[in-house]
Chain A
Amino acid sequence: MTRFSAWNVFRNGLSGQKGWDRQWRDVEPKADYDVVIVGGGIHGLATAYYLAKKHGLKNIAVLEKGWIGGGNAGRNTTIVRSNYFRPGNREFYEHSLKLWENLSHDLNYNVMFSQRGHVSLLHSPGAVDAAARGYNTLRLTGSDAEIWGLEELKQEIPHLNYAANARFPILGAAVQRRAGTARHDAVVWGYARAADQLGVDIIQNCEVLGVRRDQGRITGLDTSRGAIGGSKIGFSVAGNTSRLWDMAGLGTLPIESHKLQAFVTEPLKPLLDHVVVFGVGGTHFYISQSDKGGMVFGGDLDWYKSYAQRGNLPIVQDVSECALSILPCLGRVRLLRHWSGVCDMSMDGSHFICKTPLDNLYLNAGWNYGGFKAGPGAGWFFADLIANDRPHEIVAEHDLKRFERGYNIDERGAGPDPKLHG
């Protein structure tokens, strides 16, 4: 396997790119594995990578029903941040952010993590205080966080809407400088390539059709490429979790699948150097500019449950209004494409990395809006859970029983209504 470096890019430029191998092998599934991860997104691939790298496991497969990274890994707006403040979430996302910071070197794959800063606009003194509560917690728990006043914000981002007639005049911003964006597909391929080098079998076009059980254990999976056995099996399939859960005969989950749209404009020369976010007057919006130049943005869920990966007009209109409300210079800029992904929205807006009613089945799900940024951390903690058969203390409360205990991890305080946890 050729190492990725400027030197090898140069050499291959001279040789007509002959020296590059497949980035991951195309393998036939074996009959049995020590660990089978279902779901070839960032989470599944990262889990396999950390199982092999950190825990030294050898015989691992990742099953993907389509092509790796074809779900939410390739459909999100690529924002990476750790500004969550509930206990557990705070430490989890901080750990994930730290993994992000060295991910390109770790994987020898440029995932283009751009720590350009995440700027949440604030529009009222009350909003400043509410943000300060979270951002103070960030600082006290060892992360970076700042509150910018209007003057500082104007210097950093000169062409936001500072007009007096703005419906919600901007007062300042809460900022996490280490946050930013990354190239989402590269993260998928980087984990796949690195996992593959450690011997992980990545099996595409392998859809799970049934779950084999023996009493309280899961013994294997019936797939579109035959039966595959696993001593330990992990589900990491986001919006499709309920289907697998049902196949395993485990009943219901505190999860609903909703769709979230994403949007990109035609490419432009650099216009916005940060991730800018706001939520005021019942709206929710985030925008950044990709390295290719497209303005990438999104907002609320479509509000109704859906497994269809396409969106509807009201949200298209809503996010456009939001975009122009803070960047009125985008009026003539054109929307190039909009698409959508299926989000596994949980009952308190937080995730599950936990054991299940079956001894050797493990669950990683309930990622709401947070799945992309969580990817490295989710892989790390899920691998830790599978390898050690016990949750790490940071995710100890992120189990399915927490609602029974009355321990909701609710960042928004929205309550048990999945659609409200955007």
Chain B
Amino acid sequence: MIRINCPYCGERDHSEFTYGGDGSVKYPALDASMEDWLQAVFQRENIRGVQTESWHHVNGCRMWLLVERDTMTHEIHSVRVAHPGLQQALEDPS
């Protein structure tokens, strides 16, 4: 069981979450070129090692998280909220 430390809910089993995908993918603007869209939707780095990936706390707070995890060892290096504004609010509540 992978244990993910949700910034809102605390450390939980990964069965509470669903895995999204490669969190480093930058989706282009809606009017971007075909090439940009093909790259974002179909091409993957498929990292063997530490990658940034998205997880959705679907059976919890329903927040999308960005998790740095090693795909060889499953070790987690960091967890942050995907929404930059919310992440900032967590870091600096003032």
Contact = CB atoms under 8 A, between A and B. Distances in A.
A–B interface present (Cβ within 8 A): yes
Interface of A: 240, 242-243, 251-257, 303-308, 312-314, 347, 403-404, 416-419
B75 to A, nearest CB: 10
A313 B39 CA distance: 34
Among B2, B51, B55, find the residue whose CB has the most chain A CB atoms closer than 10 A. B2
B15 interface: yes
B71 A257 contact: yes
Given A257-B71, A304-B53, A252 B44 contact: yes
Given A308-B72, A312-B2, A254 B44 contact: yes
B51 to A, nearest CB: 7
A416 B42 contact: yes
Contacts of B13: 314
B44 A255 contact: yes
Contacts of A305: 19, 21-22, 46, 51, 53, 71
Interface in B47-61: 48, 51, 53, 55
A416 to B, nearest CB: 5
B14 A304 contact: yes
Nearest to B55: A304
Given A254-B43, A305-B51, 5 more contacts: A242-B46, A256-B21, A305-B21, A306-B71, A403-B41
Chief secondary structure at chain A's binding surface: mixed
B18 interface: yes
A308 B45 contact: no
Closest 8 CB pairs of A and B: A242-B46, A252-B43, A304-B19, A314-B15, A254-B42, A403-B42, A303-B19, A347-B42
B40 to A, nearest CB: 10
25 contacts: A240-B48, A242-B44, A242-B48, A243-B48, A251-B43, A252-B39, A252-B43, A253-B44, A254-B42, A254-B44, A255-B44, A255-B46, A256-B21, A257-B46, A304-B14, A304-B53, A305-B53, A306-B74, A308-B74, A314-B1, A347-B41, A347-B42, A403-B38, A418-B21, A419-B19
B44 A312 contact: no
Nearest to A310: B74
Contacts of A419: 19, 21
Given A308-B71, A312-B1, A403-B38, A256 B44 contact: yes
